[in-house]
Chain A
């Protein structure tokens, strides 16, 4: 069983992402953070296998958070959720091996990332 950390400042968005994850991967457990800071505290406690991070958040944006997480967890599957698909953001996400997931989040939009992550996690286990 894997644990996914959902990071989004919007409670509604966290619920939507959580539901999509629950549908695609019913066996996974889900934890939530409302900010990058909260996410990093949860990461300290360990047990997080993959992350879905909102891009546009107050304080530290999702890409900055992903960058910091990536430097500590080289193989963790990370998705960045945003409707902001500017070249610079896409390029930066690719360069740190972060998957793009379009907002609004749907099961279909998330399925590719979750399936890929499930494979990677099984292989690394």
Chain B
């Protein structure tokens, strides 16, 4: 939390949460089309934390093995998006997406592909909505499925790791009757987060106008 307060003001945090909220709501709508069942979302909580804290946050909540879909994004701001599930949730999600037509063996075979596709839809809905609202295009890499723990997910070999922060979004979602929970994380380094902060401010100026922001704008 301390990292967040240094980086984002209250209104910037509010605006970012709202952007994420709209993005995730769109993602839920897309996911609903894939699974044919109602997807229930919690209100996302958005925190900017260090990579170590993000790994600890996941470890606190999840003692079991994790699986993640990751996609890198590039544009005016850049980084890596992760959709992280406990392993049990991921199989439930694959079952929900593929329907009940597959055998356990087939499902196991399909797991990575179904997860990659689901992650692609969720991450793209989320990031595309943010990109549109911030009026800056983002390009997305292909989804990759990785297994491991929080520490591994939050390593960024090709980005500047000294200033590495994680925009950590925590949402709970359930699909139909199944309890499937997941996390979305966006890894960015400080220059990228600064660029995002700038865009958020432009966004705030656009939507509320300078006159209502007071002298602090």
Contacts and interface: CB of A to CB of B under 8 A. Distances in A.
Interface of A: 9-13, 15-16, 19, 55-58, 82-88, 103-104
B43 A9 contact: yes
Ranked 4 nearest A-B pairs via Cβ: A84-B25, A83-B25, A88-B38, A86-B32
Contacts of B106: none
Contact of A82 (B25, B129, B209): B25
Contact of B18 (A10, A87, A88): A10
Contacts of A9: 43
A58 B46 CA distance: 13
Contact of A57 (B38, B43, B204): B43
B156 interface: no
Contacts of A55: 25
Contacts of A88: 32, 38
Nearest to A106: B207
27 contacts: A10-B15, A10-B18, A12-B11, A12-B15, A12-B18, A12-B207, A12-B208, A15-B208, A16-B207, A19-B208, A56-B41, A82-B25, A83-B21, A83-B23, A83-B25, A83-B129, A84-B26, A84-B29, A86-B32, A86-B38, A86-B39, A87-B32, A87-B38, A103-B22, A103-B25, A104-B133, A104-B207
Contacts of A15: 207-208, 212
B53 interface: no
A55 B18 CA distance: 12
Contacts, number: 60
Nearest to B30: A86
B14 interface: yes
B144 interface: no
B82 to A, nearest CB: 22
A30 B129 CA distance: 28
Interface residues of B, number: 24
Interface in B127-157: 129, 133
Interface string B1-31: 0000000000100110110011101101100
A56 B208 contact: no
B14 A12 contact: yes
Given A56-B41, A86-B38, A104-B133, A12 B29 contact: no
A49 B204 CA distance: 29
Contacts of B208: 12, 15-16, 19
Interface in B198-217: 204, 207-209, 212
Residue picked from B15, B18, B32, B209, most chain A C-beta under 10 Å? B18
Nearest to B28: A84
B15 A56 contact: no
A92 to B, nearest CB: 10
A10 B21 contact: yes
Contacts of A11: 11, 14
Interface in B164-216: 204, 207-209, 212
Residue picked from B11, B41, B207, most chain A C-beta under 10 Å? B207
A10 B17 contact: yes
Contacts of B14: 10-12
A56 B21 contact: yes
Nearest to B207: A16
